Each structure stands twice: as C-alpha cells, then as structure tokens.
Amino acid sequence: MTPWTETTLHSLAKKLLRRLHVTGATLDIFLLKDADIAALKARFIKKKTEPNVLSFREPVAFPHPELTRTRYLGEVYLNKDILRKEPQRAAPLLLHGLLHLLGYDHERKADAAVMEGLEEKILKDLGTP
C-alpha cells in the first residue's frame, strides 16, 4: 500500500475533487499522531468517536491574498497512526473530510444518507472498498 505523505494525499485529494466536480480550489492536509488529533477532536467535537479525521472550513471573509485564481476550502487533519496501520482508509477518510469542507454533514439522518451515498459512489468509482 501507498506510504501516505502530505504530497501523496494532495494527489489523492485532487482526484477526489475532480470526482466531486470541484475545480479551482485548494486545501491543506495535515497528518497528526493519534494523541494530537484526539486532543483536537476533544477541543472542537464533543462526540465520542474515533479520532480519525477532522476538517475545518475557512471562514467566508477570511482573506487569502496569495490565492488569485483559486478558492481555499480549509484544512483536513488525518490520523497518521491509522493510515500507517490501515493505509486503505486514506481515501474514505480524506473524502469524508473533503465533503465536510464542501458543506456536507451527517447531523440529520437525511443529510447523513446523502453524504454516505456520495461517499459510496465516489469510492466505488475509484475502485476503493
């Protein structure tokens, strides 16, 4: 399996964004140790779930003068310990984080069904379990 780095994950993100028909966008991807992502999750997300992926959208009015022809989506934090043990989870976790950056959520059942359906379709198209 691929040894995931920020660079290889950016390539995967580009592929996923193309599948989502998103162009002219950029984002940051961070790989954190289990303890660090768990601490972030405890600070920002009150649900008790596996600390596997977090995403933070950029505030709408936040200036990015360095971006002239792209829009900044935000940040995705992935648990590098999980990716080291289970590298096949990279695409599903990154896709989940990207969808949150694009405004999808899973708070309500109907929204969760839409998000999960889109995740399944894209992962199937990519040939990812």
Report how many domains make up the chain: 1
Q: Residue 58 — very low, low, confident or very high, per pLDDT cuts 50/70/90?
A: confident
Q: Residue 68 falls within a domain, yes or no?
A: yes
- With respect to residue 70, please indicate whether it lies within any of the assigned structural domains: yes
Burial class (CB in 10 A: 0-12, 13-18, 19+), 113: exposed
The reply to whether 26 falls in a domain is: yes
pLDDT band at 48 (very low <50, low <70, confident <90, very high): confident
Q: Mean pLDDT throughout 46-69?
A: 77
Inform me whether the pLDDT recorded for 72 exceeds 80. Answer: yes
**Tens-place pLDDT, residues 5-46:** 878 898 999 999 999 999 988 888 999 999 999 999 888 887
For position 41, which CATH number holds?
3.40.390.30
Q: In whole angstroms, what is the distance from residue 69 CA to residue 108 CA?
A: 34
Average pLDDT rounded to a whole number, residues 83-90: 94
Domain annotation covers residue 49:
yes
